Amino acid sequence: MQSEGTYHNLETLRLTTEGDKDFEAILIQAFCEEAPGMVQGMKEAYESGNLQEMGRHAHSLKPNAQMFGIDSIRESILAVETLGKENRTTPELAGYIDEIVLVLTQVVKELE
């Protein structure tokens, strides 16, 4: 288990758990199990045109990104969430989705 990787930093996690390594391990394991499904759900919702569902998945990813110090996609997650709530698309939306998928997939690999 790494504390820092290409796209993440576990400082916020450490502060939240007050250094409890067992609790950290539980949260990391839960993230690694749940994040791929959330990412896949967001991508599938986008591809099927269900933008509101896409936005709900992005909303669910937001606290995970914060907890695991995944700052590089913060703006992309917020954009996807907002566009989903507004039920609208933009030319940049596919790029936001691709970036989120790429980064979160890499973070899960780094943490496993």
> What is the rounded distance in angstroms from the CA atom of residue 89 to the CA atom of residue 105?
24
* Token pair for 36: 């791929």
What total of structural domains would you count in the chain? 1
pLDDT of residue 2: 44
pLDDT of residue 46: 97
Print the domain residue range for 29: 11-111
Q: Reduced to 3 states, what is the DSSP secondary structure of residue 9?
A: strand
pLDDT of residue 6: 80
* DSSP sequence for 14-62: HHHHTT-HHHHHHHHHHHHHHHHHHHHHHHHHHHTT-HHHHHHHHHHHH
Compute mean pLDDT per 10 residues along the chain, 112 residues long, and list them.
70 91 95 95 97 96 93 96 96 97 94 90
pLDDT of residue 19: 86
- Are the C-beta atoms of 70 and 102 separated by less than 8 Å? no
Domain assignment of residue 62, yes or no: yes
What CATH number is given to the structural domain containing 77? Answer: 1.20.120
pLDDT of residue 3: 53
